[in-house]
Structure 1
Amino acid sequence: MTAVEKAGYGVASHDIELAIDGMTCASCVARVERALHKVSGVTSASVNLANEMARVSGSGVDETALIAAVEHAGYGARLTGRGVSEDDRKKHESRAALIHVRIAALLTAPLFIIMILR
């Protein structure tokens, strides 16, 4: 692609959005971005931890190769807007929130018991 640009021509690129599952920290974001950059044709990859989304730009990028790269890095990935309904996304978010509440309750229980016994 750089040879074409050096010759004075542009290369058409398109954006692909992926929903990423399993990220918990900035280190996870960096791993996913590195994995995406390794895929042939990718010119830029940006991952947002807060909304668990990745935006990939490139020319001739194979979507299945992107998903495979993210999964090889240890995370889940799927294309947005394809086969994922809004209800499914909300159910996933609800399950994740419930897991966080259970973990918080489990970690708080010993402190609560100590406070009661004093």
Structure 2
Amino acid sequence: MKVRIEGMSCSGCSARVEKAMKALAGIKEVRVDLADHSATYAGEVSEAAVREAIEDIGYEVKGFEA
């Protein structure tokens, strides 16, 4: 699953997003792509939980793609 993220501008931003997503129960793998402003993840976790984790650290979720 891929999530579009607005507001990431540096490697520190992508590291924060990766850390927040990896902390979610059910996440098995996360790969953040700063250039594409997205993160791809695998695991059993709701879109709502992913959205909350990302927005809680100050970024905006623009949508999800399968």
Residues 23-57 of structure 1 deviation map (CA, whole Å, 9 limit, x = unaligned): 01000000000000011100111110101011010
Aligned residues: 65
Computing the radius of gyration from Cα coordinates, the structure with the larger value is 1
Residues 37-87 of structure 1 deviation map (CA, whole Å, 9 limit, x = unaligned): 0111001111101010110101x2111000100001110113334xxxxxx
Q: Which residue of 2 aligns with 1:65?
A: 49
Give the structure-1-normalised TM-score.
Answer: 0.52
- The answer to whether the 8 A contact 1:46-1:54 is kept is yes
Gaps of 5+ in 2: none
1:46 partner letter: R
Q: Provide the identity percentage.
A: 35
Q: Which residue of 2 aligns with 1:76?
A: 60
1:65 partner letter: A
Give, in whole Å, the separation in 2 of the partners of 1:78 and 1:57. 18
Write 1 or 2 for the structure with the bigger share of strand.
2
Gaps of 5+ in 1: 1-15, 82-118
Q: Which residue of 2 aligns with 1:23?
A: 8
Give, in whole Å, the separation in 2 of the partners of 1:52 and 1:64. 19
Write 1 or 2 for the structure with the bigger share of helix.
1
Give, in whole Å, the separation in 1 of the partners of 2:49 and 2:64. 15
4+ residue runs of structure 1 moved beyond 4 angstroms? none
RMSD (Å), alpha carbons: 1.1
